[in-house]
Amino acid sequence: MKSKNVLFLCTANSCRSQMAEGWARQLLAGVINPHSAGVATQGLDQRAVQVMREVGVDISGQVSKSLDDLPDLEFDAVVTLCDQAKESCPFFPGTATRLHRSFEDPAVLARDAVDEASTLQPYRRVRDEIREFVRQLPDMLE
């Protein structure tokens, strides 16, 4: 069975879509060929890198990309991870399955945190929610 090209799309490709790509590489190697992009790019959120590293997933080599950075790829599935990405998601020709699962933005949730420990809590929660979603993804793509 050929692995499926899956695009995880979020607003800035800095956190949630990067986490999803990292989880898919870790948990679904050979089943999914993951990619991530954003409606715009913002750079890789270092707190996302940190909380993924805590669970043994290294996303430090990933880079923030826009859809224009992936022009030659044909996707079997496009997964939007925030409402803004869903609304801004362009049409993908072919038979790409479109899925949507909105996750809260950890950076927004952490805005009023008083210290680094409380800043990382929403990142960890969203990381774990994305892991569970990615684990279930093959069943959703059948």
Q: So which residues are the catalytic ones?
A: 10, 82, 89
* Phi and psi at residue 24, to the nearest 5°: -65, -40
How far apart are alpha carbons 3 and 28 in whole angstroms? 9
H-run or E-run covering 88: helix 83-88
User: Cα angle vertex 81, ends 78, 86, to 5°?
Assistant: 70
Q: Answer yes or no: are the C-beta atoms of 133 and 101 closer than 8 Å.
A: yes
Q: What token pair was written down for 68?
A: 């224009």
The 3-state DSSP class for residue 77 equals: strand
Q: How, if at all, do strands 32-38 and 77-80 pair? A: unpaired
